[in-house]
Amino acid sequence: MNLTTAGESHGKALVGIIEGLPSNLPIDIEAINSLLALRQSGYGRGGRQKIESDKIEILSGVRNRLTLGSPLAFQIANRDYANWQHYMAPEGCDVSARRLTRVRPGHADLTGVIKYDQTDARNVLERASARETAVRVAAGAIAMQYLAALGISVSGYVRCVCGVEDGARYPFESLAAAKEQPLFMLDPAIQKRAMSRIDELKAAGDTAGGVVEVRVKGLKSGFGSCMQYSTKLDAVLCSAIMSVQAIKGVEVGMGFACAYNPGSAVHDEIFVKDGKYVRSTNNAGGIEGGMSNGEEIVLRAAMKPIPTLMKGLDTVDISTGLPASAAGERSDVAAICACEIIVESVVAFALAGVVAERLGGDNIKEVVGRYSRLP
């Protein structure tokens, strides 16, 4: 299963093409739009989210809400393009206006300008922007529907915002309730402290990052492989997460804590119960030797603070070479809720690809039948 994306942050639209979906998979467009809306929600977001109101428009590959087995093409219109057409139109526009030369630390601006031989960072930032993730969320929503047909679910929540952390362990069934909270956190008292922290940072013209946890339930053992490094399930999933803008670290299961504990406190002991192999703990996060072991997949991702600060960090104006304050492009203080939805989505799409590679199948009936026969 493959996804190709295109589009600029303030261009006409974001576009995606998914290849490898089986035929006759029911597509719930309302569920896709609901996930897109969640991506735009969350405490600490800026005004642009009220402008866009993202909606998917499927262009090909689906008829009467069922996939055809052909490439599924879709777009998400940028409603703000009407305000940017004069500066972004591919047919011709005023490139001298909205020019960005006060490059932002922590963003793709400066490195991209040098790499692509540009004098205006807008020619880099428009594509490097996290706005691109709207396409990946839409694709992830479709992948979730593919996985759901097999009884596989993906969910998650926010564990930490700028040092305000919830270290509790929650059952998978309780995670969905996080989406009803303003900061996608499950402990009301911790969430209140995190929201206060965001308010403090906003007043100071600063930004926040955080940690999200995503889990997968219902995946049988044996997905991924120990035979080739590139096919290890954790390698595939971690690569997908690290491809998301602003992600600087990924953990599987116990993660970095494994390095601080002895083996007896890390490795999940194996027993037989009712004729099946079971583990009483899941420190491995559902993956051993690059393969799913039948336990829940547990992944955590660390998001750095948004690099566009309202107060502006010290930088250089590339048009003059002189010191300057970094340009401001948007007013988000925290986008951790969006990050959680995006990480869920990329995990779902990457996992769907691994599942599809093992099961094959030209139609969803074949896929479901093959999965049901696995031990």
CATH number at residue 30: 3.60.150.10
Return phi, psi of residue 232, to 5°.
Answer: -65, 135
- Give pTM, 2 decimals: 0.95
Per-residue pLDDT of 124-135, as tens digits, reads: 999 999 999 999
CA distances for 37 relative to 15, 42, 90, 134, 342, angstroms: 17, 10, 28, 10, 12
The residue that leads in pLDDT, 47 or 304, is 304
Per-residue pLDDT of 237-271, as tens digits, reads: 999 999 999 999 999 999 999 999 999 999 999 99
Pairing of strands 297-303, 210-217: antiparallel
Per-residue pLDDT of 61-114, as tens digits, reads: 999 999 999 999 999 999 999 999 999 999 999 999 999 999 999 999 999 999
The number of distinct structural domains making up the chain is: 1
Per-residue pLDDT of 111-165, as tens digits, reads: 999 999 999 999 999 999 999 999 999 999 999 999 999 999 999 999 999 999 9
Per-residue pLDDT of 183-192, as tens digits, reads: 999 999 999 9
Mean pLDDT score of the chain: 95
Contacts of 132 (CB under 8 A, 6+ apart): 5, 7, 9, 14, 245
Q: In the chain, pLDDT over 90 holds for what percent of residues?
A: 93
Residue 52's pLDDT is what? 60
Range of the domain at 175: 2-372
Residue 332's pLDDT is what? 87
